[in-house]
Amino acid sequence: MFALCEHPPVQIVIVASALKVLRRVQPKKAQDILAAIRRVAADPRAKNNNLKPLTGIRNGFRIRVGDWRVSFTLDHAAQAMDVFEIAPRGGAYR
pLDDT in tens, 39-55: 998 888 777 778 899 99
CA dist., res. 22 & res. 69, Å (int): 11
Give the CATH class of 11-89.
alpha beta
Give ∠ CA 72-15-85 in degrees, rounded to 5. Answer: 45
Mean pLDDT for the chain overall: 86
Q: How confident is the model at residue 16 (pLDDT cuts 50, 70, 90)?
A: very high
Residue 65 predicted with pLDDT over 70: yes
Domain ranges of the chain: 11-89
77: Cα within 13 Å, side-chain hemisphere: 1
Q: How confident is the model at residue 77 (pLDDT cuts 50, 70, 90)?
A: confident
Could you tell me whether strands 51-53 and 11-14 are parallel, antiparallel, or unpaired per DSSP bridges?
Answer: unpaired
